[in-house]
Amino acid sequence: MSFGPRSTVLVTGANGLTGSRVVARLAQAGQPVIATGRGARREAIADLPGVEYVETDLARAGSLRDAIERSGPAAIVHCGAMTDVDACEADPLQAWTANVSATAEAAMAARAVGARLVALSTDYVFDGEAGRSYVEEDRPNPRGTYARTKRAGEEAALLLGVDVAVARVAVVYSARKGSKRTFAGSAAEALLAGKEVKAFSDQTVSPTLADNAAEMVIGLLRSGEKGVWHCAGGSAVTRFDFARALARTLGANEGLVVGVPLSSVALAAPRPRNSSLRVDKIRRLLGSAVPLDLSAQLERFARERVR
Ligand SMILES: NC(=O)c1ccc[n+]([C@@H]2O[C@H](COP(=O)([O-])OP(=O)(O)OC[C@H]3O[C@@H](n4cnc5c(N)ncnc54)[C@H](OP(=O)(O)O)[C@@H]3O)[C@@H](O)[C@H]2O)c1
């Protein structure tokens, strides 16, 4: 089946940070969308024309396959996943089911109905020890249950699907109404209330505004390109620098941001020290301005807050 501007796209994780923006952007472009998610349709994707909502449970074998086979989409954007890194560490079986088995199911169902698949993944496939930002050709070395299941999900998608692209995003945040709470959202509220915010000064990441991630993922979907793509924001910063830039954008006191080392917090799952992603490849595909640098993202984030 060939994919075009009027073809139906099925999106998983449609209530989530990235999935909700993929659904909204596709719907705004007039593309018919089957939005699938856990439980009822939520606020982030309410009232969008051309969007049918189908409840699916990635943890139940066959639930996603049935949704795909019933609707026969021309493309699938697989954003659904168990994304709580520490919860994954505590429950490897649930993490495997949601992040690997469901992705394998998406790939096999995509193959069966002749759909293109874009499967989302993470910067955490890297161990963060290279001391530089990662390119797509770098060899993954995932640490921790979330990271290992996401890497296995990448392999499942690439091995079992036919027309497949993997889109790695990182540290996703959004201020859209109804979107999940993230570090940036909580930090913004605290900073504007004059409260201190602690942020890791020794963890380097590529923060990605969910709306910008959706732009890149949809661009990749439409391009027809296969393989692995980094679809993250264009700046590599420590979480401390991220929070200080956020404070400046909001006109808050950046002195409220206090840098702390990763070792100061007992976390169940390991965190890579520098899992920032190079985005040159997606820049070449979609244009240099598409992966937004941090200041452009934060300006958009600030506009989202007041909408
Ligand atoms: N968030 C990040 O910082 C981040 C970083 C790197 C990579 N990623 C990757 O980006 C993709 C999109 O994640 P996101 O940022 O949009 O995070 P998210 O907001 O947590 O979205 C994930 C969605 O998957 C849904 N989901 C989880 N378990 C499910 C199940 N058993 N059945 C059906 N739906 C289920 C969640 O439902 P509920 O809303 O009900 O929980 C949620 O809506 C994922 O592949 C993730 O691994 C995310």
Atom from ligand 1 closest to the CA of residue 78? 45
Q: Is residue 3 part of a domain?
A: no
**Rounded distance from Cα 256 to ligand 1 centre (Å):** 30
Residues 6+ apart with CB under 8 A from 69: 109, 112, 113
Residues 6+ apart with CB under 8 A from 163: 110, 115, 116, 117, 224, 226
**Rounded distance from Cα 78 to ligand 1 centre (Å):** 10
Q: Is residue 194 part of a domain?
A: no
User: DSSP class of residue 263?
Assistant: G
Please indicate, yes or no, whether the overall pTM of this predicted structure exceeds 0.85: yes
C-alpha 152/C-alpha 169 separation (Å) is: 16
Tokens 């890149």: give the residue.
216
What's the confidence (pLDDT) of residue 288?
95
What's the confidence (pLDDT) of residue 2?
74
What's the confidence (pLDDT) of residue 307?
73
Q: How many domains are contained in the chain?
A: 1
C-alpha 163/C-alpha 15 separation (Å) is: 25
Residues 6+ apart with CB under 8 A from 71: 8, 10, 34, 52, 54
CB of 149 sitting under 6 A from ligand 1: no
Q: Are 245 and 183 in contact, with CB atoms under 8 Å apart?
A: no
CB of 115 sitting under 6 A from ligand 1: no
CB of 169 sitting under 6 A from ligand 1: yes
Amino acid identity of 296? A
Q: Is residue 201 part of a domain?
A: no
By annotation, the residues acting in catalysis are: 146
Q: Is residue 190 part of a domain?
A: no
Tokens 């999935």: give the residue.
19
Q: Are 145 and 95 in contact, with CB atoms under 8 Å apart?
A: yes
Enclosing domain of residue 14? 9-172+209-234+275-292
Splitting the chain (307 residues) into consecutive groups of 10 residues, what average pLDDT does each group show? 86 98 97 96 91 97 97 98 97 98 98 98 98 98 98 98 98 95 96 97 98 98 98 98 98 97 92 97 97 98 91
Q: How far is CA 57 from the centre of its chain?
A: 18
> Which mutation among 10, 11, 18 tests ligand 1's pocket best, with the greatest number of atoms within 8 A of CB?
18
Ligand 1 atom 5: residue of nearest CA: 170
What's the confidence (pLDDT) of residue 1?
63
Amino acid identity of 115? A
> Which mutation among 93, 148, 172 tests ligand 1's pocket best, with the greatest number of atoms within 8 A of CB?
172
Taking CA atoms, 216 is separated from 17, 20, 93, 116, 304, in Å, by 14, 14, 31, 16, 18
Q: Is residue 136 part of a domain?
A: yes
Q: Is residue 202 part of a domain?
A: no
Q: CATH code at 159?
A: 3.40.50.720
Q: Is residue 145 part of a domain?
A: yes
Q: Is residue 61 part of a domain?
A: yes
